[in-house]
Amino acid sequence: MDDKRNQLPVMSRFIIFSVLFLFFIFVTGSVAFVLSMRQIIRLNKGNELSQLLEIERVKLETSVNNEVVIALKMADSPLVKRYFSNPDDLELEKTAIEELVSYQNAFASGIIFWVNDIDKMFYYNDLEPYIMVPENPDNYWYNMTLFETEVYNFNINYNPDLNVTNLWINAPVFAPDGKSIGMLGTGIDITTYIEMINKNLAGRAEIFLFNAVGEITGAKDSVLVAEKQNIEDALNIGSVAILAMAKELAPHETLVLDTSLGRIALGTVPLLEWYSVAIMPDSIDDYKTGMTALFIVVLMVIVVIFIIFNFFISRLLKPLRRSMIDAEEANRAKSAFLANMSHELRTPLNVVIGLTDLILEENTIAKHVSENLHKIGNAGSTLLSIVNDILDFSKIESGNITLMPIEYHLSSLLNDVIALMNTRIAEKPVVFKLNINENLPSRLIGDELRVKQILNNLLSNAFKYTETGTIELTVNCVSANGSGGESKKDVWMEIIVSDTGIGISKENLKKLFTDYYQVQNRISHKIEGTGLGLSITKRLVQFMGGDISIESELGKGTIFHVRIRQEFVDDTSIGSDVVEQLSRFHYADDKRRAGKKLPVRADLSFARVLVVDDMQTNLDVAAGLLRKYKMQVDCVMSGQEAIDLIHLGGTQGEPVFNAIFMDHMMPGMDGIETTDLIRGLGTEYAEKIPIIALTANAIKGTADMFFAHGFQEFLPKPIDITQLDSVVRKWICR
């Protein structure tokens, strides 16, 4: 189970990365392919269209030319001329018609027509002739051919009955004296011609012909020709001025353009004074090429390579993953071991420190015994701080640390920190200076205990490594707006701790924040410590979104700069009075002798308390400390016994105890379960009685857990007599 949970993120991250990478290759490859293919296709299409137009032009002009040649030959025939001059000569007419029919067979379209200027009879193939009226505007071509044309002309018309468009070749017939005596010609079926071309193009392209005024003269859709639609309107390609561009073309020149319709080519048909346009729209079919097939094959190959590659990588990762999991497990085991160890160490330490304190308070002991007891007490305290460091460090390492932000008073935080340093201040000829400013915010929100821990670590180092000179603590607060602060309410608390101590060499500075690292020198051998203080400090600072830096010179001293993010409550500042009090406090204490300041204990002889702990020595310590208040102390060694006592109450069931001091870790029913059961007993007494947790597990941060389970307070073991005093004052009253 655990195994799976651990390997999943690595593997899934790897798979997600591979899939995304593959997708990226896919997309970029396809886009690049489509773009370059489009470019190639368009280039090819342009060339193809130009060639197409040129071929069709040549074909059209050649066939028109052929017809023109035949028509001119016919117009030049002496027999035809004679017949046109004497239309009434039936003999002549018969032979002339025979000749004309032979010409008719030579025309590709098989169309022939003629009119002579005498009887104006219009002959069309073998249809019945009729009289043609030149004045009719529809017959404009007659006078145009006879009187304005020297060799031949063209005209075009649409026959709605047959739905065909014809290009007519009209040739005047001249008498030997040069007078025009009639006309003849043939028709070319443009509709069929355009149909043929477009059929050959099989929908890939479309060709239009248009004249110099832009009227369509040839199109697949014959309606366009019949209605003489404008080419630009018909094609609807926006602002591209096809007609103007076509007119710019030299004879036989072609021009390729990119338009919204796709690639188009413009060409000319000089013989007819027409223009041509060929359009090849963009189509998905354009991509049905060998190149596309090749591209798909390449993509498939990439996919296969990817799959094989992933397979190999996952196999390679397996042992790596295994060792990562093992390392993580080992690390967890180590952290758990350290946490357990420190818990186990704190319990006997409680006895050592507690009993030492108790004995030291006896006035009857001899001086040398008291001195030795002081040493035992100090050694116990040192051991306790080491154990605390190890516990903290293992918590940080195993990621179990959480910040517990609360609103706190900056002045009381500073007060506590300075108070803790007091014993140190008196030990050596060192001057302690506090630089704070009256404008510092009075209240802040943050993990007060952790901020204290940072300050204590830095200051106790400064005291440890400074024999003479000055130690300075500077605290500033600046708004964190616009400098990485997440909300308007963030402030940076800047802490500077400087000393004139032994300093740290350059090469040692680099290793300073390494876990368990202690600078090896003669002096530090004599100084206690675990080498964890700075590592813990650094991690806590980082946890608070801040940073830490250090400047140091061997023999001259050290300066630590720390910046942590706290939340701002309001504009109230600590004020000059508090600044003065804090400064006075330590100056006064400066001169004080070393040693713990013992609380003046109140007389609480009216009170009766219950202590619950599974270890007799712990009961002795707690009961001893509490009896200093002259109160009656009852001891029991299990949760059940405590419940029974509370349940019974006094003889009348009335309240008996003023408070309960409850050990946390007990075999069987632990302190939390016991408290839950007491609270559930149902009497007002059981509900209200103050219960104070005693715990060797009491690392900063567990307070909330106790409060959530109905405890009023908690006291870490070894019990600190000052802390105990404030708890007693708060909760045991008449």
Residues that bind ligand ADP (CB under 6 A): 461-462, 465, 499, 501-504, 512, 517-519, 524, 529-535, 558
Which region holds residue 615: left if phi is over 0, alpha if psi is between -120 and 50, else beta? Answer: beta
> Structure tokens of 25?
């290759």
Residue 28, SS3 per DSSP: helix
Query: In which order are the strands placed within the sheet that holds 180-189?
Result: 130-131, 121-124, 113-116, 180-189, 164-174, 153-159
3-state DSSP helix/strand/coil percent for the chain, to nearest 5?
50, 20, 30
Using CA atoms, how far residue 3 sits from 327, 396, 441, in Å, is: 12, 23, 50
Q: Name the nearest CA neighbour of 404 among 604, 508, 544.
A: 544
Residue 610, SS3 per DSSP: strand
Residue 611, SS3 per DSSP: strand
Residue 237, SS3 per DSSP: coil
CB of 346 to ligand ADP, least distance (A): 18
End-to-end CA distance of the chain: 56
The total of other beta-carbon atoms located within 10 Å of residue 263's CB is 24
Q: What are phi and psi of 115, to 5 degrees?
A: -140, 135
Q: Are 74 and 103 in contact (CB under 8 A)?
A: yes
> Structure tokens of 312?
């190999």
d(CA 613, CA 620): 10
Q: Name the nearest CA neighbour of 536 among 517, 509, 553.
A: 517
CB of 397 to ligand ADP, least distance (A): 15
Q: Are 667 and 614 in contact (CB under 8 A)?
A: yes
The total of other beta-carbon atoms located within 10 Å of residue 687's CB is 12
- Identity (one letter) of the amino acid at 145? T
Q: Which is nearer to ligand ADP, 3 or 553 (CB)?
A: 553
Q: Are 463 and 472 in contact (CB under 8 A)?
A: no
d(CA 623, CA 41): 97
Q: Are 500 and 556 in contact (CB under 8 A)?
A: yes
The runs of H, that is alpha helices, within 409-469 are: 410-427, 448-464
